[in-house]
Amino acid sequence: METSIFSIVTSLVARLLLLHAEADKCRTRLRAAPPPDDQVDLLRLREIGEEARSLARAAAELVGVYAAEPETLGAVYTAAILGRSVLEIRANAEAGRTQSALAQATGQ
- Global pTM reads 0.49
- Can you give the pLDDT at residue 24? 84
**How confident is residue 43, by pLDDT bands cut at 50, 70 and 90?**
confident
Domain span at residue 36 reads 2-106
Instruction: Give per-residue pLDDT as tens, 20-42.
Output: 888 888 888 888 877 666 778 78
The count of domains in the chain is 1
Instruction: Give per-residue pLDDT as tens, 45-102.
Output: 888 888 887 777 777 677 665 444 555 556 666 665 555 555 565 565 565 555 555 5
Q: Would you say residue 19 has pLDDT above 80?
A: yes
Who contacts 80 (Cβ-Cβ below 8 Å, separation ≥6)?
A: 6, 9, 10, 12, 13, 59, 86
> 52 near 19, Cβ under 8 Å?
yes
Who contacts 102 (Cβ-Cβ below 8 Å, separation ≥6)?
A: 71, 72, 74, 75, 78
